Every structure is written in C-alpha cells, then in structure tokens.
Amino acid sequence: MKNDHLDVLIVGAGLSGIAAGYHLQKESPDRSYAILERREAIGGTWDLFRYPGIRSDSDMHTLGYSFRPWRSPKAIADGTSIREYVQDTARENGIDKKIRYGLKVVSASWSTPDARWTVEAERTESGEKVELTANFLFMCSGYYNYDQGYTPEFEGIADFGGRIVHPQKWTDDIDYANKKVVVIGSGATAVTLVPEMAKTAAHVTMLQRSPTYIVSMPSEDATANYLRSKLPEKIAYALTRWKNILSFSVIFRLCRRYPAAIKKKLLQQVRENLGEGHDIKRDFTPSYNPWDQRMCMVPDGDLFNAIKSGEASILTDKIDRFTETGLRLQSGKDLDADVVVTATGLNLLFLAGLQVKVDGEEIKLSDCLTYKGVMFSGLPNLAMTVGYTNASWTLKCDLTCEYVAKMLNYMRDHDYKQVCPRTDGSVIEDEDMLPLTSGYIQRSIKDFPKQGSREPWKSYQNYLRDIFMVRYGKLTDDALVFSSPDAAEETADEELRSEGAAA
C-alpha cells in the first residue's frame, strides 16, 4: 500500500470521519492523513441503516456540520438526505480522495521510542492483513457494533412461520405490504418504523415492555426557513444553529431541575395529539424522568396520526413466546403477525473493537478514564469522537476535531512527538462514560472507560461548557503530558554522564 506511514490515521468515514478530515485540512494542512473505512461507502450509520422511514432524531441545523449549512427546508431529515449531505461534504472538500475502503482496523500498538502507532487492518473481502503506521490515531468509528444489533433470546422463535428482521439488517426484499406487522421495541427506531410501515401494511403494532417519552416536533423549522429567505446562507444557518442549541440547553436543564412538571407537560402533549380513548398512563408514561434516557422525536406527530387513523397501535405487554402465527404475550393474549421487526436495540462496541497495546502491554480500556471526553488516560496520541447523549452528535464531534487539530499544531510548534493524559491519586472513577439508563447502554457500558470525579476527567454533556473548555480553554494542564522520546533519551544519557563524572 502506498504511503503506509501517515501523520494522522482516521478510522471511519461517517459523519465524524469526514468532519475530522475537513478540520485537519483546514487547521493542520501540513499533516498527512488517510481515512480507513471498513465498508465500501461514505456515510457510516447513515449508509448502513436502510430501514423504512430512517431519519434524524435531532434537528439538522445542529446535526449538520458547523462549516457546511444544511440547505433543505426539512429540519428532521430522512436517512438518504443525510447520507448525501455527508457524501457531498466529502467530495466538495476532496476528503473522499483520502478514504481507503474495505479495510477493517483490528489492532493498534504504540511504541514510545518510535512515537508512533502500528495499526493492523484486514481487507474485508480477502482477509489480507495490511499494516500502517501513524503518529496520531483518530477514532471516528462511533460506538455501535456494525456487525449485529441486539435481539433478546425469545422462546419459540424457530416456530414462527413469518419473517423476522432486525432493522440493522434491513434489505430491499422485505415485503410488508398488506401484511400484519409487529414492531418490538419503544425506542427511536421503533417510533420511526411504525408510521412509515403503516402506510402500506395491513396494520402495525408497536409492542413494548415499557413506554418511552415521545415528543412531537415540526419537521420544518419555520424560523430557519424564514432566516434563509432573508439573510446570507451562512449567517442564517449560524443563527438557527445557535437558536436551537440554546433552546435545547434550556429544555434539558428544565428537565433536570423540574422533572415532575416537565413530565406532566410531555404527557399533556401526548393527550392533545391522540385525543380521547387512549390509556396514556399504561402506554405513554415512562417510569423514569425526562432525559434519564433519550426522548423519541416524531416529526409532525406522524406516530400519533398513524395511531389515530387505526393504521397502527401500541400494546404494552411482555412476550411469553413466539408461535407459528405470531406472538403469545404474558397477559395470555395472542398477537398475529406476518412480519416481526425486532427494534430491540443496538450493541455497543468501544473503539470499533480495537485491540490496543502500549509498549507491548495490552490495555484494558475499561480501566481508562476519559479526558475532556476526547482522550483516555494512558493512551498516547489517540483521540475519539463521542457525541452527546442529550444533544446532536455533531456538536461534540466538531469540537473534538478542532481540539485534535489544535493539539497537533501545538506539538509541531513545540517539537513534541507524543501527548498522553495521566491521572494521579486525587482522581477517582465517578460515573459511566455514557450517563444514560437506556438498556442498550447498560448492557455494554462495563467495557467502556469511566469518567473521573472532576474536570478534565469529567464530561458534563454540556455544549456551552465544552466550548469554553475545549475550544477556548488552555490546551495544557497538569493532566496532559507532552514529551519527545528523543529528548527523554538525551536527558537520561546526560544524567548517566553526570553520575559517571561524580563517581
């Protein structure tokens, strides 16, 4: 492979990876880089997931890049539009020419004397091993397992005579027109699938063990569209972006401070959308407070409209077993189905399942602490984009990419070859890296690094706070150790010479 040594190796050509390429080109143009992508296309999650109705669960003025305006009038966008937006961004900036497709990263080994990572990847088609070296490793692979989603072990599943599919494995040959469909789940994927499938299915039932918060919001941002018609594009986009950031920040804080009042307001909205004749307590009232888990956004109330029309329904119950014709529930009810969609969650995978060694010693990633939500204790010259759990992914992604470019420039200017966050005895583990109670997080979070008890080891899931800490804050602190192996060796040699002279 040509140019198998790089200044920066980016892993993943999705939303984050393309942002990383852009910021490197703009802010650290002297650094060589490549993007490794295991699949054969740009887009990451937005190219992998193809289930009916897939769309953003955040507004595109904040999910979109800070440097490239979102031009569609739809603020809640479909997956195809988002995928095209990411691909167009890559092409317009020449980032697509830096992508090496069909390479799955397997392991990475850091050498302090060489101040570089040796990364092993394998070609997805042939299994051939490929080795690259890089001074800095930038993981932009998200934290979902792309190979498989999560499906519980259901008794009798082999007895079912219809088709069972997980949304992550959706294919074009799945036919549900005029058929009875059961969607198992109550999260963002389920509330997206139900109204879309209900357009052609005989009936769609959303079968949930417990409810989640479902909030209706307009698919178009009237303020954004008005500003776009009156102002230059970039100014209109920036104003809309900040309007939405500040609005959501206020809403999130209100949820935390006045959970009972916000819960009452959210359930009142559900009543207004559905009208009379629905058991709001049973089907729409979660046992947890708002934003203990992510809320489900439904554009223009499409889920509520499908329920009101009779095309869809929600059933709160637990599965006893599959039968030949559908599902038997613990309540004793039989639910007929031709197609069952297991929207039962995703599996998480930290650093794309990478096996990591530092100077020959394998690193247990769950023993690491997060540093500013960007780096990890004991891992030199490595950063990862991890989005917010309570806001748009790209807000933190943009900040992280800026931070990495800023760090690379600092290292160049001061002739440092490596940087590594180091903890001392005053920092203790405080909470999980992803502070949500959602099942898909709790199943895998034990394998993730932890947060510390204070900054910079603690992340507050607060964009405004992070701007000051990451974008405008001082780069150096007591926890971040910059060094150069050559300088360390020279110092050691000098000390030995001094000791010899003294003797």
Structural domain total, the chain = 2
Helix extents (H) in 7-71: 15-27, 45-48, 60-63
For residues 202 and 85, membership in a common domain is answered with no
For residues 188 and 331, membership in a common domain is answered with yes
Q: Which domain holds residue 397?
A: 5-147+347-488
For residues 259 and 381, membership in a common domain is answered with no
Over residues 360-416, the pLDDT tens digits come to: 999 998 888 999 989 999 999 999 998 887 778 899 999 999 999 999 999 999 999
For residues 444 and 394, membership in a common domain is answered with yes
For residues 51 and 135, membership in a common domain is answered with yes
Q: Quick one: tokens of 457? A: 């080891």
Q: Considering only the C-alpha atoms of the chain, give the largest distance between any 2 of them, rounded to a whole number of Å.
A: 93
| Contact status, residue 142 vs residue 12, Cβ threshold 8 Å | yes
* Inside any domain, residue 461: yes
For residues 392 and 334, membership in a common domain is answered with no
For residues 336 and 425, membership in a common domain is answered with no
For residues 191 and 261, membership in a common domain is answered with yes
pTM for the whole thing? 0.91
* Least confident piece of the model among 8-17, 46-55, 450-459: 450-459
For residues 376 and 440, membership in a common domain is answered with yes
**Neighbouring-strand partners of residue 419:** 482
For residues 95 and 141, membership in a common domain is answered with yes
* Inside any domain, residue 265: yes
Over residues 237-246, the pLDDT tens digits come to: 999 999 999 9
Place of tokens 């909205």: 269
* Inside any domain, residue 377: yes
Q: What is the per-residue pLDDT for 435?
A: 64
Over residues 122-176, the pLDDT tens digits come to: 999 998 999 999 999 999 998 888 888 888 899 999 999 999 999 999 999 999 9
* Inside any domain, residue 237: no
Three-state SS sequence of 89-152: HHHHCCHHHHEEECEEEEEEEEECCCCEEEEEEEECCCCCEEEEEEEEEEECCCCECCCCCCCC
Helix axes 259-274, 302-309, angle to 10 degrees: 40
- In this predicted structure, the answer to whether residue 494 has a pLDDT above a threshold of 60 is no
Q: Give whole-number Cα distances, 419 to 136, 163, 228, 473, 480, in Å.
A: 10, 52, 43, 17, 7
For residues 331 and 367, membership in a common domain is answered with no
Which CATH number do you get for residue 436? 3.50.50.60
* Inside any domain, residue 424: yes
CA distance 312 to 286: 20
For residues 321 and 446, membership in a common domain is answered with no
* Inside any domain, residue 389: yes
- Chosen domain end from 292, 315, 342: 342
- Chosen domain end from 324, 342, 360: 342
* Inside any domain, residue 225: no
Q: By three-state DSSP, how is residue 215 classified?
A: strand
* Inside any domain, residue 235: no
